[in-house]
Amino acid sequence: MSAGTATDTRPGRLAGRRILVVGAGQQDYGLEDPPIGNGRAMSVLFAREGAALALADIDAASVQATETLVREQGAQCVTVVADAAEDSGIQAMFDGGRAAFGGLDGLAMNVGIGAGLRFKGTSVEDWDRVMAVNLRSHFLGCKHALASFEDGGTIVLIGSLAGRESMPVPAYAASKAALEAVCRNAAAEGAPRVRVNVLAPGLIDTSLGRMATRLNPARGEVRIPAGRQGSAWEVARCALFLLSEDSSYVTGQTLVADGGLSVATRS
């Protein structure tokens, strides 16, 4: 099956929903023709499926570019520029969504950075910044969502297969592994009112992925049973499932979208 496009959906699964997408912009890392990133693909797809969207990012120009694409789908949206690693930033994001739509009932936390190479090349500052952006932001998102979402609220934390593997960036791997514990605890605390799940992509063809392959060419030679890397649209469709009523009996779980990489026989 091909990677597909944003149009490969059954419309209306998020009709009436008000969703905050944290990390709705993307970094292109100097690529002339960058592929769409996970946060932007999710935003466009959610808009197509009928949601009103609060689009949040630390990069004003990038989130505004996402806003243009979302409005082309005819969706209501508002943008908030803030730092998700800070409590005041997350508060501003929730406040912006509530002011625009009268409330929020969905959250997609698409936030993550990497810093440091192996333990010997990772400074304390690298470690602390990665943990703040990749882990504290998700804790804050869950905290604010659990306090304000009413019955039927849903949270999706974007993790990574890196949280279940060894890799050359230990801070990133550790932060993504910890999201599964955050998810379990938030799901237990929020039930039955709010569902919480993790979406853990494998190797996805994004600008960040291409940059990582340039830095570590062996990444591009990994054997994936599906025969290719995934696309951001495929990540977005998995997030759509977890946010919609299609997954109404799923909470506290991790959905791995990796083309079979995690179960492949390593030679």
Q: Where are the domains of the chain?
A: 18-256
Rounded distance between C-alpha atoms, residue 179 and residue 186, angstroms: 10
Distance CA 175, CA 213 (A): 21
**Of 5, 3, 22, 251, residue with least CA distance to 144:** 22
Catalytic residues: 172
Cβ pair 197, 250 in contact under 8 A: yes
Q: Is the dihedral of CA 12, 16, 17, 19 positive or negative?
A: positive
Q: Using an 8 Å Cβ cutoff, are 42 and 238 in contact?
A: no
Per-residue pLDDT at 233: 97
Between CA 210 and CA 29 the distance in angstroms is 9
The predicted model scores a pTM of: 0.91
Count, residues in the chain? 267
User: Which parts of the chain have pLDDT scores under 70?
Assistant: 1-11, 215, 265-267
Quote the DSSP letter at residue 245.
Answer: G
pLDDT reported for residue 14: 97
| CATH number for the domain whose boundaries are 18-256 | 3.40.50.720
Amino acid 118 reads: R
pLDDT at residue 266, as a whole number: 60
